[in-house]
């Protein structure tokens, strides 16, 4: 093997977990990671253990393995595991050891990204808030107090893994670890201390003697033996900082995160496949999807601020644990095609030649006869036909064809053989004792949350205080309360007793109450968390009470010095007279503060308090109300969601566990979305958007493992007013299967090489398979061979359409769990000679 590798001596064989019986040696050289002396092409995917439940982990990991992954990558979330200094939590969704062992049981490797800064759209970037209060601390720089805490936590995680024999050097699955995270994106802001900090972090990590390599992502100056890696939508042009290190991609963003107030981003699979193929075409050997399963931001774990509760990320496995098709299937085919090339990929470096303008061939050829080629068309709007090694190949724009034998195409990234699946949410009755149409319309009880100060631990201070320093993020909420006297001769009363309350806040949202009544609200957004509001208010003679409820929506998680970005009402707060422009600044007066809500202190989220009130008139469309009801779990095993139609903003708990913040009142902009998204050309997070002009999120995941068959408790805290009787539960099901395959598609990758074996040319195949056990294809909703119009769910016939298509597909598929049909005129006849034809089918399963 060419290049000099850094060797990590792996010695311990004791206590190796059941799935592996021998320790492995993990090293690297300039081409790849080297496991037990053999270079490996590795496909990885991110699954964050706290964004799903332990009951979901085995299925998620198995689906990842079935999709062609070799490695599961996860961050380690410091603020989950050490919420209070030196008090640790590794139970339930926080059971890191169990998660790693579950990956091992599936026969996959693990990349453990300890960080401990994670970004990840996670609250405070994964740092616990108590760090903020350590005297003299400065985050992520050459600072003694910070480095001490970072080393203590990193060492604790490493020691936990060692005690359970989870490193590959001990026979476990962990083949890589990461220290720090994307620091190179912002390190210039920290000056010369950044370089010494990175040197220290690398030295500290390697001193922990894990026996496996460490990486630093987005860190061009990562010191040896750290492997510097790439994050981004595309990493084909990335070059490591040493000829001794392999080209690795630690985050290939499969979509983008959803923000409250934003439209939903998505990324076409053709573009992802193009990016992956280009990476391996140009010398890469380790690629990770961020995310492969995104999951859910339960509780108050979102960062941002304004990150939504759903962290679906348009990943190949969706938030609920179901396969997103055709994304999952097309990437599975891609992985198979790449693995067909592995022997050539690991043996040598590519030879790259131009086939024309923005047309390129990369060939991996060995002296032992292995040969693999990648043919790329990097044009954004024009297909091309190229000549390569004496043969002609059609390359759609923005695509790569993979030839594992340098001759026959196993896959083109723009031509999808995998079927699409159309999901739907079906409402279900959750109460056995009521009519199914009743839903959640009866059985509610409630508790009013007091406006203003109601707890004994309130305190007074002169001036306005920054929120995070007061709450330490123990709650989203902080009350600012002030009583002020209005005399009869005050200028505010000259124009119908009307004034304007001017409030400025660092964010993230606020509600203003005058004499106990909601006067107005304001909110920031994901681009600017700050709030400035002029709220018309009516004051009375004498004493007036101003109560301002400030709230956070996840703390900042990214950027230089992000930990110093505050929140809350820091002012000024002013009363502006409408008659003659007179203004009174209230900012420096004596304010009374209350951290959190009375309902939080009373334990209302558990649903067990004696404070709940029932009656014939349920209060609706009123601010600051806690609601409670009971329900039965939906029948079956389909994933469950709460549909928050009719609600405003708040948080929800099921059987005492928070499913996260809800905010259907925050509607996305009407602009920016398109009916379809062209995969061709560079992707960015605003290129492909859907759900414009609608609530950013209305459906909220409730894990099945949190539900009992009956007697479940749902608790809501509603901030701004809603109607809980409109809430419903829904189960996520499959509505249709669809596929569209042309005569010019490559064969399914599983059939690659069959022509060589049989000596005759095979036709492309359209395949359908019901996604769940015990299902069969029960109907064919559409079938056309010719030039059908539309997409899945909206196919229609053209003038060119075989009259035999429907009957042929019905005969091949109905009553079977799966079926495959040859896409050729031999099967369907030729409805229009000389025209390229496709077969489009939509089916349903029961």
The per-residue DSSP string of 492-544 comes to GGGTTTEEEEEEEESSSEEEEEETTEEEEEEE--SS---EEEEEEEE--SEEE
Strand segments, DSSP code E, in 318-397 are 351-356, 359-365, 371-377, 384-388, 391-395
Strand segments, DSSP code E, in 185-239 are 214-217, 227-232
With 0-12 / 13-18 / 19 or more C-beta atoms within 10 angstroms meaning exposed / middle / buried, residue 627 is: buried
State the Cα–Cα distance between residues 405 and 752, nearest whole angstrom: 10
**Closest C-alpha among 22, 97, 35, 36 to residue 71:** 35
Catalytic residue, from 251, 342, 490, 600: name it. Answer: 251
Provide CB contacts within 8 A for 589, sequence distance 6+: 462, 463, 482, 484
State the Cα–Cα distance between residues 178 and 226, nearest whole angstrom: 9
Provide CB contacts within 8 A for 39, sequence distance 6+: 1, 29, 31, 32, 33, 285, 346, 347
- Residues 383 and 395: beta-carbon distance below 8 Å: yes
State the Cα–Cα distance between residues 825 and 846, nearest whole angstrom: 31
State the Cα–Cα distance between residues 378 and 720, nearest whole angstrom: 50
164 is catalytic: no
- Residues 215 and 177: beta-carbon distance below 8 Å: yes
- Residues 371 and 406: beta-carbon distance below 8 Å: yes
**Closest C-alpha among 513, 450, 441 to residue 482:** 513
251 is catalytic: yes
Kind and range of the H or E run holding 627: strand 625-631
Sign of CA pseudo-dihedral 131, 132, 133, 134: positive
Provide CB contacts within 8 A for 192, sequence distance 6+: none
State the Cα–Cα distance between residues 219 and 54, nearest whole angstrom: 33
State the Cα–Cα distance between residues 89 and 87, nearest whole angstrom: 7
**Closest C-alpha among 196, 189, 177, 162 to residue 109:** 177
Catalytic residue, from 73, 182, 319, 842: name it. Answer: 182
With 0-12 / 13-18 / 19 or more C-beta atoms within 10 angstroms meaning exposed / middle / buried, residue 145 is: middle
The per-residue DSSP string of 800-844 comes to SB-TTHHHHHHHHHTTSSEEEEE-SHHHH--SSTTS--EEEEEEE
Which positions are annotated as active-site residues?
182, 251
């Amino acid at each position: 093997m060419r290049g000099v590798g850094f060797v990590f001596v792996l010695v311990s064989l004791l206590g190796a977990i059941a799935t592996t019986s021998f320790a492995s040696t993990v090293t690297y050289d300039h081409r790849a990671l080297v496991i037990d002396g053999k270079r490996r092409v590795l496909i990885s995917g991110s699954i964050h253990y706290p964004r799903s439940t332990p009951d979901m982990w085995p299925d998620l990991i198995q689906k990842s393995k079935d999709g062609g992954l070799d490695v599961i990558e996860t961050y380690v979330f410091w603020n989950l595991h050490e919420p209070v200094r030196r008090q640790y939590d590794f139970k339930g969704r926080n059971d890191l050891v169990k998660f790693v062992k579950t990956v091992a049981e599936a026969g996959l490797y693990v990349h453990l990204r300890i960080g401990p800064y994670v970004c990840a759209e996670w609250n405070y970037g994964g740092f616990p808030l108590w760090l903020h209060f350590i005297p003299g601390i400065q985050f992520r720089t050459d600072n003694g107090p910070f480095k001490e805490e970072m080393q203590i936590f990193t060492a604790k995680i490493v020691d936990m893994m060692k005690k359970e024999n989870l490193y590959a050097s001990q026979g476990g699955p962990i083949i890589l670890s990461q220290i720090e995270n994307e620091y190179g994106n912002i390190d210039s802001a920290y000056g010369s201390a950044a370089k010494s900090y990175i040197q220290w972090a690398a030295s500290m990590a390697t001193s922990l003697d894990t026996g496996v390599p460490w990486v630093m992502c987005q860190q061009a100056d990562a010191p040896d033996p750290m492997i510097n890696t790439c994050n981004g939508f595309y990493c084909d042009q990335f070059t490591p900082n040493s000829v001794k290190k392999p080209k690795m991609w630690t985050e290939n963003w499969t979509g983008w995160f959803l923000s409250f107030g934003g439209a939903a981003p998505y990324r076409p699979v053709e573009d992802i496949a193009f990016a992956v193929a280009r990476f391996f075409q140009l010398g890469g050997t380790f690629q990770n999807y961020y995310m492969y399963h995104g999951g859910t931001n339960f509780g108050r774990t979102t960062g941002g601020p304004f990150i939504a509760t759903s962290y679906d990320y348009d990943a190949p496995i969706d938030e609920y644990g179901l396969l997103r098709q055709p994304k999952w299937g097309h990437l599975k085919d891609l992985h198979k095609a790449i693995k067909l090339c592995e022997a050539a990929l690991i043996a040598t470096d590519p030879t790259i030649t131009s086939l024309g303008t923005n047309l390129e061939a990369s060939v991996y050829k060995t002296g032992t006869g292995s040969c693999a080629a990648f043919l790329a068309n990097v044009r954004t709007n024009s297909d091309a036909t190229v000549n390569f090694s004496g043969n002609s190949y059609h390359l759609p724009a923005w695509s790569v064809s993979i030839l594992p034998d340098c001759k026959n195409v196993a896959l083109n990234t723009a031509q999808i053989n995998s079927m699409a699946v159309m999901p739907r949410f079906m409402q279900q009755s959750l109460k056995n004792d009521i009519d199914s149409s009743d839903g959640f319309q009866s059985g509610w009880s409630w508790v009013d949350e007091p406006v203003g100060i109601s707890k004994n631990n309130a305190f007074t201070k002169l001036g306005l205080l920054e929120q995070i320093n007061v709450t330490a993020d123990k709650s989203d909420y902080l009350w600012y309360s002030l009583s002020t006297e209005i005399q009869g001769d005050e200028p505010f009363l000259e124009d119908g007793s009307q004034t304007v309350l001017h409030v400025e806040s660092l964010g993230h949202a606020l509600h203003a109450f005058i004499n106990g009544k909601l006067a107005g609200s304001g909110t920031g957004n994901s681009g600017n968390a700050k709030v400035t509001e002029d709220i018309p208010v009516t004051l009375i003679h004498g004493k007036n009470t101003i109560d301002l409820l400030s709230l956070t929506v996840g703390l900042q998680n990214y950027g230089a010095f992000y930990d110093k970005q505050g929140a809350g009402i820091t002012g000024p707060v002013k009363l502006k007279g409408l008659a003659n422009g007179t203004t009174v600044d209230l900012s420096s007066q004596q304010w009374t503060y209350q951290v959190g809500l009375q309902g939080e202190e009373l334990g209302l989220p558990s649903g067990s308090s004696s404070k709940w009130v029932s009656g014939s008139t349920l209060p609706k469309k009123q601010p600051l109300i806690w609601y409670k009801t009971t329900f039965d779990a939906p029948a079956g095993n389909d994933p469950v969601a709460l549909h928050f139609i009719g609600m405003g903003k708040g948080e929800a708990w099921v059987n005492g566990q928070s499913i996260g913040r809800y905010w259907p009142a925050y509607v996305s902009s009407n602009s920016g979305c398109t009916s379809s998204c062209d995969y061709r050309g560079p992707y960015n997070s605003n290129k492909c958007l859907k759900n414009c002009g609608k609530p950013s999120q209305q459906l909220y995941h409730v894990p099945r493992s949190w539900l009992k068959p009956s007697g479940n408790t749902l608790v809501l805290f509603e901030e701004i007013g809603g109607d809980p009787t409109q809430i419903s539960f829904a189960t996520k099901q499959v509505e249709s299967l669809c596929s569209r395959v042309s005569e010019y598609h490559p064969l399914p990758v599983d059939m690659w090489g069959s022509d060589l074996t049989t000596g005759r040319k095979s036709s492309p195949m359209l395949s359908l398979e019901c996604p769940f056990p015990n299902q069969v294809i029960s109907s064919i909703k559409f079938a056309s061979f010719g030039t059908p119009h539309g997409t899945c769910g909206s196919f229609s016939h053209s003038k060119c359409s075989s009259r035999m298509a429907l009957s042929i597909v019905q005969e091949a598929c109905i009553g079977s769990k799966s079926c495959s049909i040859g896409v050729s005129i031999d099967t369907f006849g030729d409805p229009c000679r000389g025209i390229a034809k496709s077969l489009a089918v939509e089916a349903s399963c029961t």
